[in-house]
Copies of this chain bind each other. A is one copy, B any other.
């Protein structure tokens, strides 16, 4: 039984796979919505093959699909598509992240869905958008990131850039899509109308440029934003510093500099003309970094150096590894990380829900990610009134599928 939460009462038909779409519908499912995940027979979501670390169960699936129902139909059959179409009138929202054009080929374009339910909300997620000359390009996170200019802002100026090895484009685009869907539901409540939402990783990545685009354009091209290593280019000191056994992020520009000077045991540098302003410190960035790193080297480890910085009220943080985060008292106490207990894979940790509310717990320990096709019968009987005989026949002919997990 799903726990009452902010989004109770909303039903989502989820045709999406792997990450951006599933992130959107995960936020809905864990916040009380009824999410029917429709998977493509015979193998279902590609994510079922990923992170099969324990007993052949995909831990990736567990992380992305708690409290969703799984219906597995063959999209290549008329009966399979027919069942999807029959479900539309029972759902408030459809979410998909096929390659642009694919939904129309399956007879599931927005115009088609509107004929099935006049006020349907369709949220289409893609790498580069449903429109524009690049829209048909393959939809990988890092491709959208490269086109957005964000990749160009990571690494050393005279070297090829780096890509963060986390699913940030997909996951944060899923969050944007969830916002768009919720906004469209508010709009529907006010106007009675549905909506088509076109959410692209490229657009989401692009608005992370909080200053670069207007700085380039507003300076008529004089200022060309680019990566500048481990440190900010326009304030100093600010960036990643080497310490014994790891790295520390230190933010000691503007008024923090005088505290940094004190911490260094060089209080006279607070007002020294070669050190006093961010401008001169930026011009001598290498020297400033060396000064701080030499001081950090006098501490035996990251924790003792962070403690010294904190005693001087200097904003800082240890660069934690994933390993360090899962047992950090703050992360555990706050539910930034959480423990799930899966019936097939046992107990392990995944990230917590990023939305914390006053009225409801962030996590329901009873939520389980569905086995492939686990809810074929439930969904088709409860919502469409199909008989056991019909469902058995579809299972036999392959229109419906079930999997071990």
Spell out A's residues near B (CB within 8 Å).
6-10, 19, 27, 31, 50-51, 53-54, 59-60, 62-64, 110, 128-129, 131-135, 137-138, 140, 142-155, 160-168, 170-172, 175-176, 178-180, 182-187, 189-190, 193, 195-200, 202-204, 206-219, 221, 223-230, 232-233, 238-242, 247-249, 251, 315-326, 328-331, 333-334, 336-337, 345, 348-359
Contacts and interface: CB of A to CB of B under 8 A. Distances in A.
B251 A142 contact: yes
B163 A337 contact: no
A137 B355 CA distance: 20
Contact of A161 (B180, B240, B334): B240
B224 A204 contact: no
Given A131-B333, A153-B166, A354-B199, A210 B60 contact: yes
Count of this chain's copies in the oligomeric assembly: 2
Contact of A148 (B209, B232, B320): B320
Contact of A152 (B9, B212, B321): B321
A154 B267 CA distance: 34
A356 B212 CA distance: 22
A404 to B, nearest CB: 18
Contacts of A324: 149
A194 to B, nearest CB: 9
A6 B186 contact: yes
A140 B235 CA distance: 14
Contacts of A154: 154, 162-165
A76 B216 CA distance: 37
Contacts of A354: 176, 199-200, 203-204, 206-207
B131 A163 contact: no
A212 B53 CA distance: 12
| Interface residues of chain A: helix, strand, loop or mixed (majority) | mixed
Given A145-B249, A150-B168, A168-B208, 15 more contacts: A8-B187, A142-B238, A146-B240, A149-B320, A149-B322, A149-B324, A151-B319, A152-B319, A152-B321, A155-B155, A170-B210, A171-B210, A197-B356, A198-B356, A224-B323
Select the residue from A19, A207, A233 with max chain B CB neighbours within 10 A.
A207
